[in-house]
Amino acid sequence: MKHRLIPALALVLGLAACSSGTGATQAGVSASGPGGAPKEIRIGYQLIPNGDLIVKDQRWLEEALPDTTITWTKFDSGGDVNTAMVAGSIDIGLAGSAPVTRGLSAPLDIPYKVPWIFDVIGENEALVARQAGSVQELKGKKVAAPFSSTAHYSLLAALQDAGLAEADVTVIDLEPPDIQAAWARGDIDAAYTWTPVLGELRKTGKVLVTSKDLAAKGKLTADLAVVRDQFATTYPEALRTWLAQQDRAVKLVRSDKQAAAAAVGRQLNLDPAEAAEQIDELVLLDGKEQAGPDYLGTPEQPGALAQNLRSTAEFLRSQNKLPSVPELTVFQQGLATEELRDAFAG
């Protein structure tokens, strides 16, 4: 979920390390196959218990696009997804609302749009401490989070809400797998991270605040899909197919929770019962719900997600994490409302 502000040169140099996808053209879009379908779709996914893992596990996209190679590349954070997008090595990816805010803002200005909300983050992302009963008690402690991620954003919001400045704690930049290792060694006192690593930390630590708690205070976060502008323009039918499979996954969660949990469990190497619990910590929305005013909205009336992203930018600017705050229209134009409408028309 999740996300890193990196100078453009470093982003481009990170291409080889950030994706195993192949076959990109100079413009960063895979060549056409029969009927105008892409020969390859390069997808950046994360280990988050939402519908994307169901689509991957069930191979629905491969079945729907038999003439297209689907390349799935795992990322540990949305910051790395932004890096891969800038480098041109993926076509569709998952990133949290904080990194997407950065991606749509200067200096990154990544040419991508949001066609889908994978989930609204709830209790699956939280601040866990080893020996602290409140956020205030973290003063002077070492706290880990993946920098520029939704978790990092939420950590800063939690500190501010508790009357602490970022400088009151030692914030350490670690990806979730490294957080788990550092926790096991006793190198950190607390961490803000997401499942499945969060589940391991909760076994021995105390949850101080969750992203659901922060959302109730106006600091909502979400895991968003981002699609390269050129891919969306060149392959609109393939994007509609991708959206249809994501919608299908959400409906499977609602109609057959056992099957959905089994699919997610296989991808996360979890028992289906535990996978089901983690799914329940997220809010999943189907296509029609996403086109509503509270989320992506329509081409005529962009939804509240645009304002949420701008509010995130304002907060990040107040924390000196962004040089400036874009106009609301930047975020409205960053929502792929036409593509969403076309996918679920009728």
Domain assignment present for 1: no
The pLDDT tens digits for 125-172 are 999 999 999 999 999 999 999 998 899 999 999 999 999 999 999 999
Looking at the structure, tell me whether residues 244 and 296 fall in a common domain.
yes
Buried/exposed code over 174-186 (b: 16+ C-beta within 10 A; e: otherwise): bbbebbbebbeee
Under 8 Å between Cβ of 50 and 119: yes
Q: Is the pLDDT of residue 26 over 50?
A: no
Looking at the structure, tell me whether residues 338 and 231 fall in a common domain.
yes
CATH number, residue 325: 3.40.190.10
Of 180, 215, 250, which residue sits at a domain end? 215
The pLDDT tens digits for 289-318 are 999 998 999 999 999 999 999 999 999 999
Domain assignment present for 91: yes
Q: Is the pLDDT of residue 42 over 90?
A: yes
Of 167, 192, 215, which residue sits at a domain end? 215
Q: Between the CA of residue 87 and those of 7, 15, 81, 142, what are the distances in Å?
A: 12, 5, 10, 33
Q: Which amino acid is at 216?
A: A
Q: Extract the tokens encoding 57.
A: 């596990």
Q: What pLDDT score does 36 carry?
A: 65
The pLDDT tens digits for 259-291 are 999 999 999 999 999 999 999 999 999 999 999
Of 198, 215, 232, which residue sits at a domain end? 215
